[in-house]
A and B are shown apart, each in its own frame.
Chain A
């Protein structure tokens, strides 16, 4: 229980920091570019 209480804030802070760093380096736009066109691999097209 004590370990859990320590780990949760660390993981939350780490994940927010990672996402924020990703946003600051423009990674969401790369996600958006890929996700905004039909993914032929995903839907099984040749």
Chain B
């Protein structure tokens, strides 16, 4: 799938998940029945447009509430999305992914990798374990990722405060910390492809655990592959599809499929039905 078409899909799902457009002007969030449904991507439920609930926020809140109940509902939905799409959610359904992809289009020389890039990728798993699971379980009423890190929540706060200026008076040091993280992500996104997805996002970390078994996958025809390196050059996430098409870093964006001169890479369904036809430029 070419980049513009994928951007159109991302924009469609971002608008679909944030279709309460009136909220952006009134500063009032949607409170209807759909708020009980978790969306697949990172989309703060305090966003003025949000129709559904953020899976990470919902997971932390169920873990951190006084009377612990195993979050069957939220985890069930997350495992369902992960089994179907793996990190394909990041490439097609996540509004934070769209924001970073748009910033990646700023025509500046990009940094493909740097010293510390590889070890830094494990940070997202640490954030998942510590901020999303351990702290909410250990400290009552502390959804730590939402509280101290989540840039989606910070963006939502800014949008709410733009509609209701009184909120700016209530923003203190925690907001400054979160705004600094958001700013860092925005600046980094201009030079590095999807820095938030690569290093920080615990939802991406969760989905990446399913990349090797998900229904949507990349299929490599090893006989057609001539190891020209075009796929790894095209991969913004720094994966090498010719070596490992199921890499946990792969977000299934299809850039490698588009770049392969031999048509050796295809979207597939892991042995269920036929491979999906590639839209290779030939």
* Chain A residues engaging chain B, CB cutoff 8 angstroms: 1-5, 7-8, 11-12, 14-23, 25, 27-32, 34-39, 41-46
B75 touches A36 (CB 8 A): no
B77 touches A19 (CB 8 A): yes
Main DSSP-derived SS at the A contact region: helix
**CB-defined contacts of A42 to chain B, threshold 8 Å:** 44-46, 57, 143, 146-147, 150, 152-153, 156-157
Q: How far is the CA of A33 from the CA of B46 in the complex (A)?
A: 12
Partner among A3, A15, A28, A44 whose Cβ is within 8 Å of the Cβ of B171: A44
Partner among A12, A20, A31, A37 whose Cβ is within 8 Å of the Cβ of B74: A31
Q: Provided the pairs A31-B36, A34-B58 are in contact, do residues A19 and B271 lie with their beta carbons within 8 angstroms? A: no
Q: Provided the pairs A15-B76, A15-B80, A18-B73 are in contact, do residues A44 and B53 lie with their beta carbons within 8 angstroms? A: no
Interchain Cβ contacts within 8 Å, total number: 162
B146 touches A35 (CB 8 A): no
**CB-defined contacts of A5 to chain B, threshold 8 Å:** 270-272
B215 touches A8 (CB 8 A): yes
The 3 closest A-B pairs by CB, nearest first: A22-B73, A43-B157, A19-B76
Total B residues in contact with A, Cβ cutoff 8 Å: 62
Q: How far is the CA of A3 from the CA of B213 in the complex (A)?
A: 8
Proximity bits, B21-53, A CB within 8 Å = 1, else 0: 000000001110101111000001110001011
Nearest residue, chain B, Cβ from A4: B270
Q: How far is the CA of A9 from the CA of B29 in the complex (A)?
A: 37
Q: Provided the pairs A7-B213, A36-B35 are in contact, do residues A20 and B44 lie with their beta carbons within 8 angstroms? A: no
Q: Provided the pairs A5-B270, A8-B270 are in contact, do residues A45 and B171 lie with their beta carbons within 8 angstroms? A: yes
Q: How far is the CA of A2 from the CA of B272 in the complex (A)?
A: 11
21 A-B pairs, CB-CB below 8 angstroms? A4-B212, A8-B215, A8-B270, A15-B76, A16-B76, A21-B73, A34-B53, A34-B58, A35-B50, A35-B53, A38-B160, A39-B44, A39-B143, A42-B44, A42-B46, A42-B147, A42-B157, A43-B44, A43-B157, A45-B170, A45-B175
**CB-defined contacts of A32 to chain B, threshold 8 Å:** 33, 35-36, 53
Partner among B76, B150, B171, B271 whose Cβ is within 8 Å of the Cβ of A4: B271
Give 4 new A-B contacts, CB below 8 A, not counting A34-B45, A44-B154.
A14-B79, A15-B78, A15-B83, A44-B153
A31 touches B215 (CB 8 A): no
**CB-defined contacts of A39 to chain B, threshold 8 Å:** 44-46, 57, 143, 146, 153
Q: How far is the CA of A19 from the CA of B37 in the complex (A)?
A: 11
Q: How far is the CA of A4 from the CA of B177 in the complex (A)?
A: 42
Partner among B46, B74, B177 whose Cβ is within 8 Å of the Cβ of A38: B46
Q: How far is the CA of A34 from the CA of B160 in the complex (A)?
A: 17
B170 touches A36 (CB 8 A): no
